[in-house]
């Protein structure tokens, strides 16, 4: 670290202190309503910050808690204010984004000159959400099912954003938060979203290689690359280009990251070039065994699509394959480890025991067909029933259950608001009731969605 980096770090560190006693609990005035009496907001604790500004908790006059982002002077421009106003006038692409609600000119609480600044009010994130970087760093242990649901919700939110012609711009794990119990996700820094190819924001590690000279703006192609990096980092818990070359650097610096992660990236699971492969005992090899079903799309993103952006997988392709991986989850009967069944192997990645498969649910919809292995916690989600632009994987519509613990699931619980219909038996399954699974059984979840159950052996995967 040279002297300039040291002073930059020191200046940033000194700004991390919380609000002083004079500012904490201070009554603030929002001037977004110029004609009426402006509402009074009470400033709370500092929630976080970054290169653009700082985020604080605030309490509205009605007692509702919100979050307020204060921009630093270099960011608080008229162009940024105009962009915020256009975002507020635009309907949110998804409830997964902490969308700006109102522009404010509240003075920044840490600036000595109490001049009117620029910021915006947004919904306050619930305390149950944690940064997805906790998964990558090993601070939060979640199941493979929750991991895949989290990635599915990330890909679905980006797809819904692209449908409206918008770009998130700075897509990276640090901007994404998730619920460890359900896999629901929230995206912070929604003020970076734009509908024009005029943004050059990015972070080394998720930026596409063509953005290295600052001449190529963010677009759907660069965002496809960033989405692939985020999903790979969450599942494998390693950046796809952080391998032997970067680990061999004795004193790692910004220049080394710029060289190996942006200028000359090489996939650390490259099928033909082993020069950047990770050590054999690295944890990423174990995770790649678990998610070997997704290896072809990883190679499509980081080998074929590295410099040919037309070949990068679209969000819909990620949704399709991640949904397929979610339906292939099964449990080892010997060590109880979670497995994602693939065509290349029918053995447990942990103990090499042969996996036993009880049965599968096949879902027929007007959009696609889905297959789900019947195991404990296997579920049908709205994303299985409707188009990818409207589906989500937050709340299950049906869950596989067993009569006793660690037994093979023999019934399907109706967790949806719909009444299921069994045409052959002229019976119905009310919400909250369970349906016993029988061989070659058909039932209707909705008028256009039919589900079939069939028992399977290991030879009929």
Gap between the Cα atoms of 169 and 206, Å rounded: 11
Angle at 52 between CA 199 and CA 86, to 5 degrees: 55
Q: 273-306 pLDDT, tens per residue?
A: 999 999 988 999 999 999 999 999 999 999 999 9
Strand order in the sheet with 441-446: 369-373, 359-364, 449-455, 441-446, 420-422, 427-429
pLDDT for residue 206: 92
CB atoms within 10 A of CB 219: 17
pLDDT of residue 148 exceeding 90:
yes
* Both structure tokens of 171: 């897509």
| Close Cβ partners of 320 (under 8 Å, ≥ 6 residues apart) | 368, 388
pLDDT for residue 322: 93
- 140 with 206, same domain: the answer is yes
- 250 with 114, same domain: the answer is no
Read off the pTM: 0.86
CB 43 within 8 A of CB 56: yes
- 213 with 140, same domain: the answer is yes
DSSP H/E element including 121: strand 119-123
Strand segments (E) across 296-429: 329-331, 338-340, 359-364, 369-373, 379-380, 398-401, 411-414, 420-422, 427-429
Confidence of residue 461 (pLDDT cuts 50, 70, 90): very low
Is 350 within the bounds of a domain?
no
pLDDT of residue 57 exceeding 60:
yes
What Å distances lie between residue 366 and 369, 372, 406, 441, 446, CA to CA? 8, 17, 35, 20, 12
What's the rounded mean pLDDT across residues 342-369?
Answer: 86
* Both structure tokens of 401: 């259950």
- 299 with 158, same domain: the answer is yes
Is 14 within the bounds of a domain?
yes
Closest CA to 296 of 311, 310, 307, 274: 311
User: With pLDDT > 70 as the criterion, what percentage of the chain qualifies?
Assistant: 86
Confidence of residue 269 (pLDDT cuts 50, 70, 90): very high
Confidence of residue 34 (pLDDT cuts 50, 70, 90): very low
pLDDT for residue 293: 92
More confident residue, 97 or 6: 97
292, 318, 344 — which closes off a domain?
318
Strands 65-71 and 27-29, how do they pair?
unpaired
- 171 with 305, same domain: the answer is yes
pLDDT of residue 220 exceeding 50:
yes
Gap between the Cα atoms of 356 and 347, Å rounded: 9
More confident residue, 270 or 407: 270
Rg (CA), the chain: 25
- 237 with 305, same domain: the answer is yes
CATH number for the domain harbouring residue 212: 1.10.510.10
pLDDT of residue 31 exceeding 80:
no
Q: 149-175 pLDDT, tens per residue?
A: 999 999 999 999 998 889 898 899 999
Is 414 within the bounds of a domain?
yes
pLDDT for residue 39: 57
User: Which of 205-209, 322-326, 364-368, 387-391 is the least confident region?
Assistant: 387-391
Q: How many domains would you assign to the chain? A: 3
Backbone angles phi, psi at 369, to 5 degrees: -115, 140
DSSP H/E element including 130: strand 130-131
Confidence of residue 315 (pLDDT cuts 50, 70, 90): very high
What SS3 state is found at 40?
Answer: strand
Q: 103-138 pLDDT, tens per residue?
A: 988 766 666 555 667 889 999 999 999 999 999 998
* Both structure tokens of 355: 């996996």
Is 199 within the bounds of a domain?
yes
pLDDT for residue 20: 34
Gap between the Cα atoms of 420 and 435, Å rounded: 9
- 156 with 303, same domain: the answer is yes
Is 371 within the bounds of a domain?
yes
pLDDT for residue 15: 44
pLDDT for residue 128: 92
- 150 with 176, same domain: the answer is yes
CB 51 within 8 A of CB 202: no
CB atoms within 10 A of CB 165: 11
CB 207 within 8 A of CB 172: no
- 72 with 55, same domain: the answer is yes
- 116 with 136, same domain: the answer is no
Gap between the Cα atoms of 54 and 15, Å rounded: 10
Gap between the Cα atoms of 113 and 127, Å rounded: 33
pLDDT for residue 377: 84
Is 337 within the bounds of a domain?
no
107, 123, 139 — which closes off a domain?
123
CATH number for the domain harbouring residue 423: 2.60.200.20
Q: How many CA atoms lie within 13 A of 450 on its CB side?
A: 9
- 103 with 187, same domain: the answer is no
CB atoms within 10 A of CB 85: 15
Is 106 within the bounds of a domain?
yes
Backbone angles phi, psi at 147, to 5 degrees: -60, -45
75, 100, 123 — which closes off a domain?
123
User: With pLDDT > 90 as the criterion, what percentage of the chain qualifies?
Assistant: 36
Burial of 340 (0-12, 13-18, 19+ CB in 10 A): buried
- 136 with 283, same domain: the answer is yes
Is 451 within the bounds of a domain?
yes
| Average pLDDT of every residue of the chain | 83
Q: 386-430 pLDDT, tens per residue?
A: 765 566 788 888 999 887 666 678 889 999 888 999 887 778 899
Closest CA to 397 of 410, 379, 411: 379
Provide the residue range defining the domain that includes 432: 357-455
What's the rounded mean pLDDT across residues 213-227?
Answer: 89
pLDDT of residue 314 exceeding 80:
yes
């Amino acid at each position: 670290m040279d002297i300039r980096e040291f002073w930059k770090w020191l200046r940033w560190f000194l700004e991390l202190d919380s609000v002083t006693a004079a500012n904490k609990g201070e009554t603030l005035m929002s001037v977004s309503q110029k004609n009426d009496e402006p509402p009074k907001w009470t400033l709370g604790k500092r929630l976080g910050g970054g290169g653009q500004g700082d985020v604080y908790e605030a309490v509205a006059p009605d007692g509702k808690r919100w979050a307020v982002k204060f921009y630093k002077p270099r960011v608080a421009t008229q162009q940024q204010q105009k962009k915020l106003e256009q975002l507020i006038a635009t309907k949110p692409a998804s409830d997964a984004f902490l969308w700006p609600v109102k522009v404010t000119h509240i003075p920044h609480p840490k600036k000595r000159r109490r001049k009117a600044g620029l910021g915006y009010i947004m919904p306050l994130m619930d305390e149950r959400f944690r940064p997805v970087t906790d998964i990558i760093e090993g601070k939060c242990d979640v199941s493979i099912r929750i991991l895949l649901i989290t990635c599915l919700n990330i890909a679905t939110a980006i797809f819904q954003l692209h449908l409206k012609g918008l770009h998130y711009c700075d897509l990276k794990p640090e901007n994404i938060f998730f619920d460890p119990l359900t896999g629901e996700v929230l995206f912070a820094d929604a003020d970076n979203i734009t509908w024009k190819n005029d943004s050059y924001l990015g972070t080394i590690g998720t930026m596409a290689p063509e953005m290295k000279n600052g001449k190529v703006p963010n677009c759907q192609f660069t965002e496809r690359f960033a989405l692939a990096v985020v999903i790979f980092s969450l599942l494998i818990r390693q950046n796809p280009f952080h391998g032997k070359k970067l680990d061999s650097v004795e004193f790692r610096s910004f220049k080394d990251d710029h060289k190996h992660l942006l200028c000359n990236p090489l996939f650390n699971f490259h099928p033909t070039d082993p020069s950047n492969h990770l050590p054999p005992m690295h944890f990423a090899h174990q995770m790649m065994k678990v998610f070997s079903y997704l290896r072809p799309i990883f190679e499509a993103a980081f080998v074929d699509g590295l410099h040919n952006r037309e070949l990068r997988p679209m969000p819909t392709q990620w949704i399709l394959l991640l949904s397929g991986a979610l339906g292939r989850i099964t449990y080892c009967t010997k060590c109880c480890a979670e497995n994602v069944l693939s065509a290349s192997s029918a053995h447990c990645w942990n103990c090499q025991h042969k996996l036993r498969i009880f049965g599968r649910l096949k879902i027929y919809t007007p959009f696609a067909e889905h297959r789900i292995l019947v195991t404990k916690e296997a579920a049908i989600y709205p994303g299985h029933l409707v188009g990818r632009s409207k589906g989500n994987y937050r709340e299950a519509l049906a869950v596989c259950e067993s009569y006793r613990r660690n037994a093979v699931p023999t019934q399907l619980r109706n967790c949806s608001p719909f009444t299921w219909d069994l045409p052959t038996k002229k019976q119905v399954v009310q919400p909250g009731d369970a349906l016993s699974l029988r061989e070659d059984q058909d039932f209707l979840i909705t008028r256009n969605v039919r589900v079939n159950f069939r028992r399977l052996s290991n030879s009929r995967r």
